[in-house]
Amino acid sequence: MLRFDDRVAIVTGAGHGLGRSHALLLAERGAKVVVNDLGGALDGTGASAGPAAEVVELITKNGGQAVANADNVATPEGAQAIVQAAVDTFGKIDIVVNNAGILRDRSFGKMTVEEFDAVLAVHVRGSYLVSRAAYPYMKEAGYGRVVNTSSPAGLFGNFGQANYSTAKMGLVGLTRTIGIEGARNGIKANAIAPVAWTRMTESLLPAEFEAKFTPERVSALVAYLVHDSCEVSGEVFTVGGGKVARVMVAEGPGWRSDDISPEAVADNWGAIMAEQPYVLTAADSMKAML
Ligand code: NAI
């Protein structure tokens, strides 16, 4: 059994849905958990200490160890306070699961700048700020696990979610770079793109999804990715309904010519669009241009 005894974890947005499920699973398996949740509505408005406190009560009742925190991940002070709660209460920080999120869906032509910024602030800025606050402790300890929460909507695009998909693809870049930079200090970062029945999706998914797409089925992958034994870093996985799959940012073999021109590009479009064989890293991408 993969256990987390002596590990300290932060799960953001853990008052509801996926985050709540991640926090319960990690605590059940021995981790000491900071249960963070601002406690607002789905669109990010409002705040309440209630949801985080309720999850902590449940963990404690089950014999686990947890502390509640209701700070906002999207402000530097809030992110710092979340990490401080881990250090003050449990003495260190080993695991960060950036899960907090909001929705402000609207079609691209109608979306306001405020709606765009608000969604990027929680998902991208929030994940960046909490990871940033935890990073010095992880570096010092020579150990860390970060999981960021992307979305199929970000990886593949989705109607009405220009803000959300921009944010969720942004998290792929953040994850991959933390993975590269963290390697020398034992820090691994990966991202999940989940599907689960939560308050965020219950009005969008068909009713029959509720029983199959449980948050617990996503948490199983999260627990693996934040365990000592996890060897991958900088990877992205779709996960939902019991299925897990690697998602690759891949570059096709392409076409090159010293006489490149707009017409030559048009003439070679088939080769440019080819998918196999592909490369997976910036270094290999550059090498293929030489
Ligand atoms: P949820 O609405 O149940 O949970 C999100 C939690 O984040 C809420 O408890 C909310 O209070 C908290 N939160 C929001 N803004 C915050 C802030 N500034 N600071 C701290 N906490 C904050 O939704 P769900 O579905 O559990 O979502 C969790 C994550 O998974 C989100 O990042 C979401 O975008 C992502 N996701 C969920 C999918 C699904 O199928 N449910 C699909 C793809 C991604």
pLDDT per residue, tens digit, the chain (290 aa), is 999 999 999 999 999 999 999 999 999 999 999 999 999 999 999 999 999 999 999 999 999 999 999 999 999 999 999 999 999 999 999 999 999 999 999 999 999 999 999 999 999 999 999 999 999 999 999 999 999 999 999 999 999 999 999 999 999 999 999 999 999 999 999 999 999 999 999 999 999 999 999 999 999 999 999 999 999 999 999 999 999 999 999 999 999 999 999 999 999 999 999 999 999 988 899 888 88
Ligand 1 lining (C-beta closer than 6 Å): 12-13, 15-19, 36-40, 42, 44, 51, 72-74, 99-102, 122, 126, 149, 151, 194-196, 198-201
- In a domain, residue 36? The reply is yes
Beta-ladder partners of 239: 194, 244
Does residue 187 belong to any structural domain of this protein?
yes
CA distance 59 to 78: 23
Determine, yes or no, domain membership for 18.
Answer: yes
Q: What is the CA radius of gyration of the chain?
A: 20
Catalytic residue among 137, 164, 224, 278: 164
pLDDT score for 178: 98
> Measured from the CA of 15, which atom of ligand 1 is nearest?
9
Q: Are residues 210 and 281 in the same domain?
A: no
- Distance from Cα 89 to the centre of ligand 1, integer Å: 25
**Centroid of ligand 1 to alpha carbon of 108 (angstroms):** 22
Tokens of 277: 């064989």
Nearest CA to ligand 1 atom 2: 200
CATH of the domain at 204: 3.40.50.720
Same domain, 229 and 271: no
- Residue nearest ligand 1's atom 32 by CA: 101
pLDDT score, position 48 = 97
Rounded Cα distance, 131 and 153, in Å: 23
Distance 262 CA to ligand 1 centre (A): 44
Any catalytic annotation for residue 143? Answer: no
Element (H, E) at 221: helix 215-225
Is residue 225 assigned to a domain? yes
Instruction: Round to the nearest angstrom and report the end-to-end CA distance of the chain.
Output: 48
* Domain assignment of residue 217, given as a range: 8-247
